[in-house]
Structure 1
């Protein structure tokens, strides 16, 4: 590899001629402002929403009359803050094109949104969580224990208040609360939709957030590759099925994608602002600067806060926080003014996000401790290691060690880029080949193992519930992007690694000169996003940490992995196109651009097209409303069978406003055991002056009701739909999902 510092490489020439630089042309400046500031504006506003919720929800203050005026003030503050985000000129058509793509994606997702309100998966949990705080304004969820006979109910081994994603938290032996799973940020945002238009407003707000995330993503690509390439990258991301799937349901991934994209974009701005003005002494391809230390510090603080506050919405945000710390160490070693504020922002933002997580979601954090503790430990190790490297380097900055002298000779200047680039390429080969030589497993006692075993039996696969299929993680992405895009993306990662090694060696060689003058050594604007993206991609692909039930498992790739691969593949296309522009005839350039469009757009569209118009979980809102209509003001619901206990308790509490619990039994077919468990629960409800109502969601539950001598009233019989469920192939259609409910007045149970 050549030692020339100005040789072009994929993604090493970000925001070069594509940004226009046509001062005085209003259209170009307006286009640049939209691309640069729309994402940060949305991020700032949603961060304010989540922070307000963290303050108000625990004290019952999440009410429209209190929140809406504060959000108006928050929006004005956000508009004022984004004035400090630098904007550059862009082709006047680029911003309208990106806006059209984002709007089309959002409208498409809204028109095909799911109605997942009967709790079967995480989307249902988020929807019911959002509905609860929108209508009850506070957390935790009261257990209404007095309706079940008071503290005596807690001592009954057959009685439970908990259900999937809703934990029973006891306070001694006399009281209990119900705590929802997940973090507060996304439900707080989606609850605004309920205030606007009830269930329909709540369920389409993820589509709006996904459209905003595309704007933030376009702003990042504009900074890295230029506005023209941002249009292609945004179109590709908008078409990829996991992104659309997450936008159709109440997941946190669309908001996480927005925060990560904008945080990376602000990091680019911070690096650019603190770099010296580009001139011959610092001519490194991809190193741009405006020599404004004050702006660099402010933008570094903003970038750090965005990375840290992303943890209000998603625990996995700690991974990007951890990976940011070595980037800050590189900035510190380069004497970049943004280094300190970047660290301060990310630590402060993370600390703020941890408070509501521990306060309101502690049971959830406990259930994921096996993944959370290594993640936190890794962050601590990276942070302390980065600090130690900077401290040692600062002490020795006026000395040169023999090892450093050896590693920076002309020979090693040639070797290190090849070594590092080759290592990244080898990692890609290892990840792609894992299915040939590896089978990944988890504990067979994990709840996800039981789900996997059932799916394996249904799909004719060898039954081995402990399998996670994580060795196929790269293949999961290729289902939606195509293999060519993956190869192009990994090629960009490898070349970026080599370019990073070359830049580092050259910057160290210049360090002696700059240390005497106090000038900053220029840092490539793409360095931070590249390091964070590659590290996050590698860790996620190595261990997705999710039940391999597709398409739901693929949302794990939405916040970072898929966007990072799209940007990297676009970088390769940009490099080839610029090379064609400079060296090849015009027909070759046209062919290269056309091929880039085909590779980036056609495979995502072909993968999405079979499910482009599908709507899942339709009829569930009406089903829930029918159940509520059959419940009286003194009714107290007891769910009988497993499906009823999983799906209906929080629906009854949140939408029907009635107390709900379930019966804990090991075998619904053991009628004597079920009757033994039900009778004392019913007796205590009657003694409390209420009407016990048994709820069944399966024929087995209906049989229990009839065996108890009661009349089962069929309240709901709806054929809904859900996505196909596959372990080893891409889903391309729907599966029937029957929703049936029987209710019975259990006052006469003896």
Structure 2
């Protein structure tokens, strides 16, 4: 009874983060679309919505309404261990938090997005062209992380993460929210491990996950991967609870589908990640027709999934259409695949009764298991027979190639700007969770697939195995990210790392029960297995875990904003400074900001006549022209140079062929001249 009670507590704790997050997003998105996203309405709608979903999703679990012998079995000490790991993770990452506000990469874009909607509650962001004497061909108002639209700019990414990060801006603790989300992710992954592998392995899964470098990395600043992980793995846990419920149906299936579907509101890639859920829901509907009680979850799961994903796509179309168009080359094929699966699902349901007596060939289970091993072996051996490259065909690709060449020079590697290093993707995984964990996960996946193909059991593993397998393989084949580490490791966070860790601890349990008949030998073998799972990620993480990056940016930004005249209209005349600070000055300093166009030919500096003309138009508009750049000589023609930022801090290492083991120096200078 004690194990049952503790298990129910762990089961409820591990799905509550996803349910609460879903409730907040469901309330926040309509407010943002209406231009009314502010603390009072968000709290009045978001807190009850989160509480209602938590109540609906955990009521049956806490009351023990589950099938006989089903559910999470855990001791009070195991539950306490999971909570301790999660709490320790949260505290550690709060202490070591990053302050990425200067728009150099995605975290700062998310931070600026969150700061804007926290302070203004609406999109698009007005360009305030009147403060520069009106629109003029020599000025533009977008920068890195934003796209130009009529009368303003829109941020680059999906609105889900900023809707959550804005809470930190309202509370005056913007750098704490990512760490809190990271701690909740630890709870979520541990809950999935407890359901699928047993409570005894939940603490190991939580610890191995929490110490992995990509998890530390994305739990310290404003990335989208951790919120996505919470929704995806929380949805998996809810789906399992739904099919194991004593009376499965709408109350259990709808929240599970909704949580999974809302992953699209956080990341466009979430559409790919939840694709297996479509087919799984169709299978459940077919099972309903054959009289199996789990089938009652199929329709509500599908409805919730379509509703959540539909909200995500609506948000993308209304609030991030330029971003969607930029990704159209990959989004359109993905939408087509989703449409095909959606059409084939009812076809499969219709023909399912005719296949009721079908028995797979005897060789199929073994062939499926062998295929798992061959795929993983092929991915690991990929660097020996493939070098992934891409010729630049647009400005974005050209900038990426130039960036890769710079990193290659810094790393002492041959300069090959077209290289993408995607062939190393499975090696990235072994760096961050270790070869033993990858081997255990591969063995576990092979064993589980063989069992599922042989007799359909364990059925609870069907959806997790499909989602983990599908996303892992597609992600590792085409990570589609600039390949420097630890930056590229973020691609592994939503599914690959947590999924392989859950599989690995199940594999460790499977080996423990089958390989050593003597209890003493079994005990020591288990200890050795635990160390093999924990030690490699700790060794990789230790080089950077205790070094926060980009600290001091918040203070530097406050000082810079204070130095700008109250009636300033800010003109950026140098490319890098404009890219980093245009939206920051507009959103965090509250001053109109624009960049002066640079002459063609690759120059980073605007032509002096164009700048002088822009300065005169600002004066004519009754405002104070302020010119910003990275060097005093760049602003000297327009007034007396004054340095308003001289930041020296640490930044992420950029490693291409090895795991990161340190940080690099970052210097940022901003000079001002008042025209």
TM-score (norm 1): 0.84
What are the Cα deviations for residues 65-112 of structure 1, in whole angstroms up to 9, with x where unaligned?
222233342343234223434254521111111000000001111100
Deviates more, 1:245-254 or 1:53-62: 53-62
How far residue 183 of structure 1 moved from its aligned partner, in angstroms, is: 1.1
Question: Alpha carbons of 1:162 and 1:326: their partners in 2 closer, same or farther (altered >3 Å)?
Answer: same
Structure 2 gaps, min length 5: 63-70, 289-294
Kept after mapping to 1: 8 A contact 2:229/2:493 = yes
Which residue matches 2:663?
734
**Residue in structure 2 matching 1:487, options 429, 439, 449:** 439
Which residue matches 1:168?
148
Question: Alpha carbons of 1:331 and 1:467: their partners in 2 closer, same or farther (altered >3 Å)?
Answer: same
Matching of residues 552-591 of structure 1 within 5 Å: 552-580=487-515, 584-591=517-524
**Residue in structure 1 matching 2:482, options 547, 557, 569:** 547
**Residue in structure 2 matching 1:121, options 105, 108, 115:** 105
Which residue matches 1:515?
none
What are the Cα deviations for residues 657-695 of structure 1, in whole angstroms up to 9, with x where unaligned?
000011221579969962133122222212211111110
Q: 1:63 & 1:332 partners in 2: Cα distance?
A: 41
Which residue matches 1:13?
none
Q: Does 1:715 align with 2:641?
A: no
Point out the structure with max Rg over C-alpha.
1
Deviates more, 1:39-48 or 1:202-211: 39-48
Q: Does 1:689 align with 2:612?
A: no
Which residue matches 1:34?
9
**2:419 is paired with a residue of what secondary structure?**
coil
Deviates more, 1:251-260 or 1:670-679: 670-679
Q: 1:669 & 1:354 partners in 2: Cα distance?
A: 36
Matching of residues 257-656 of structure 1 within 5 Å: 257-273=229-245, 290=246, 292=247, 295-335=248-288, 336-394=295-353, 396-397=354-355, 408=360, 412-413=361-362, 415-445=363-393, 446=397, 447-504=399-456, 524-580=459-515, 584-656=517-589
Q: 1:72 & 1:572 partners in 2: Cα distance?
A: 39
Aligned residue pairs: how many?
656
Kept after mapping to 1: 8 A contact 2:21/2:50 = no
Matching of residues 138-287 of structure 1 within 5 Å: 138-151=122-135, 153=136, 156=137, 158-170=138-150, 176-197=151-172, 201-273=173-245
Q: 1:80 & 1:724 partners in 2: Cα distance?
A: 44
Kept after mapping to 1: 8 A contact 2:448/2:458 = no
**1:47 is paired with a residue of what secondary structure?**
helix
How far residue 577 of structure 1 moved from its aligned partner, in angstroms, is: 1.4
How far residue 331 of structure 1 moved from its aligned partner, in angstroms, is: 2.4
What are the Cα deviations for residues 607-660 of structure 1, in whole angstroms up to 9, with x where unaligned?
111112111111111111111111112111111212111111111111110000
Which residue matches 1:516?
none
Q: 1:139 & 1:72 partners in 2: Cα distance?
A: 23
Question: Alpha carbons of 1:466 and 1:679: their partners in 2 closer, same or farther (altered >3 Å)?
Answer: same
Q: 1:300 & 1:130 partners in 2: Cα distance?
A: 32
TM-score (norm 2): 0.93
Q: 1:83 & 1:269 partners in 2: Cα distance?
A: 9
Kept after mapping to 2: 8 A contact 1:271/1:524 = no
Q: 1:664 & 1:531 partners in 2: Cα distance?
A: 49
Kept after mapping to 2: 8 A contact 1:332/1:390 = yes
What are the Cα deviations for residues 326-374 of structure 1, in whole angstroms up to 9, with x where unaligned?
2223323333222222211111211122222211111111111122112
What stretches of structure 1 move > 4 A for 4+ residues in a row? Answer: 666-673
How far residue 225 of structure 1 moved from its aligned partner, in angstroms, is: 1.1
Kept after mapping to 1: 8 A contact 2:277/2:463 = yes
How far residue 298 of structure 1 moved from its aligned partner, in angstroms, is: 2.8
Q: 1:670 & 1:575 partners in 2: Cα distance?
A: 61
Kept after mapping to 2: 8 A contact 1:453/1:464 = yes
**1:637 is paired with a residue of what secondary structure?**
strand
How far residue 34 of structure 1 moved from its aligned partner, in angstroms, is: 2.5
Kept after mapping to 2: 8 A contact 1:130/1:191 = yes
How far residue 169 of structure 1 moved from its aligned partner, in angstroms, is: 0.9
Kept after mapping to 2: 8 A contact 1:50/1:184 = no
**1:726 is paired with a residue of what secondary structure?**
coil
Question: Alpha carbons of 1:348 and 1:674: their partners in 2 closer, same or farther (altered >3 Å)?
Answer: same
Q: 1:254 & 1:679 partners in 2: Cα distance?
A: 46
Q: 2:606 & 2:579 partners in 1: Cα distance?
A: 20
What are the Cα deviations for residues 178-207 of structure 1, in whole angstroms up to 9, with x where unaligned?
10111111111111111112xxx1111011
**Residue in structure 1 matching 2:36, options 55, 61, 66:** 61
Kept after mapping to 2: 8 A contact 1:268/1:529 = no
How far residue 29 of structure 1 moved from its aligned partner, in angstroms, is: 4.4
**What is the root-mean-square deviation in Å for CA atoms of aligned residues?**
2.0
How far residue 562 of structure 1 moved from its aligned partner, in angstroms, is: 0.3
Which residue matches 1:19?
none
Kept after mapping to 2: 8 A contact 1:323/1:382 = no
Q: Does 1:93 align with 2:93?
A: no
Kept after mapping to 2: 8 A contact 1:674/1:704 = no
Q: 1:628 & 1:662 partners in 2: Cα distance?
A: 17
**1:739 is paired with a residue of what secondary structure?**
strand
Which residue matches 2:292?
none
**1:715 is paired with a residue of what secondary structure?**
strand
Q: 1:350 & 1:709 partners in 2: Cα distance?
A: 51
How far residue 572 of structure 1 moved from its aligned partner, in angstroms, is: 0.9
**2:607 is paired with a residue of what secondary structure?**
helix
Kept after mapping to 2: 8 A contact 1:40/1:262 = yes
Kept after mapping to 2: 8 A contact 1:127/1:203 = no
Question: Alpha carbons of 1:668 and 1:148: their partners in 2 closer, same or farther (altered >3 Å)?
Answer: farther
Question: Alpha carbons of 1:78 and 1:689: their partners in 2 closer, same or farther (altered >3 Å)?
Answer: same
**1:743 is paired with a residue of what secondary structure?**
strand
Structure 1 gaps, min length 5: 1-21, 171-175, 274-289, 505-521
